[in-house]
Amino acid sequence: MREARAAWRRVMRPGESERGLTLVELMVSMMIFAGLLGIVFSVLVTVSQQTKDNLARTRSADQARIGLMQIDRQVRSGNVISDPAGESLASAGVPANYSLRVYTQTDGSYQCVQWRVRYPAGTDRGLLEFRSWRPSWQVTGGVEAWRVVARDVVRPTGTFDPDDNTTWPPFFVEARAGSAGSEAQTIRVTLRLKDANQSARSAPTTVTSVLTGRNTVFGYPADSCGTVPAP
């Protein structure tokens, strides 16, 4: 009976159940809710930035691998591989070790191919470019224009040191051949790419490989493709 009376009193005094929250309680609740929103928003921004970095890194790696696959194919079928240290502004438009010239017979077609990493004036973002020409180009023509294969190539850091891979230029001789064949049969190719959408803290994507021309051991004339069209 007492319980029934107590329940009846609660029903008859609805004002107590409708009094709501005080201003202090409301402010505390809002602060807690704002703090949770801030944490969630911070996590979303971090995940979004990481996703953006990963996608940019993937694009850079894809560009580098596509370029390296083409170079690998041409070098492995190369008859003469010119020493990148002998390249110059006059022959390639870039300094030594930033260009690679190969006399190749890829797909059974004899041609001269040239790769270079060029940095346009006022930027540290380089371009990996490629062109080819016929060995008889001075008579028959057939010089192709430079084509961009990859963008956002990062410069090496510091002075070249064979023991420090961060200083490796794009092209350099990994090992000298003997008296037969070309001056440089084995070349190390190193490409570092960093997409413009990657954060400043993100490291460049580095792709490197040692390539050897299988045909260079047959002693093709070292001056093949020695006459180079103007860059």
Beta-strand runs (E) in 82-146: 99-104, 111-118, 126-133
Q: What is the pLDDT of residues 81-101, one digit of tens each?
A: 888 988 989 889 999 999 999
Asked if residue 8 has pLDDT above 80, the reply is no
At residue 181 the predicted structure's pLDDT band, cuts being 50, 70 and 90, is very low
Q: Pick from 25, 224, 33, 34: which is nearest to 133 by CA?
A: 224
> Is the CB of residue 64 less than 8 Å from the CB of residue 207?
yes
- Please state, in angstroms and rounded to a whole number, the distance separating the CA atoms of residues 57 and 52: 9
Question: How much of the chain, in percent, has pLDDT values that exceed 90?
Answer: 20
The model carries a pTM of 0.74
Q: Decide: residue 187, CB within 10 A, 0-12 exposed, 13-18 middle, 19+ buried.
A: buried
Domain boundaries, the chain: 41-218
Beta pairing class for 205-212 and 126-133:
unpaired
How far apart (Å, rounded) are the C-alpha atoms in residues 96 and 30? 65
**Average of per-residue pLDDT values in the chain:** 80
pLDDT tens by residue, 17-69 = 556 677 777 788 888 888 888 888 888 877 777 777 777 777 878 888 888 89
Distance CA 182, CA 226 (A): 12
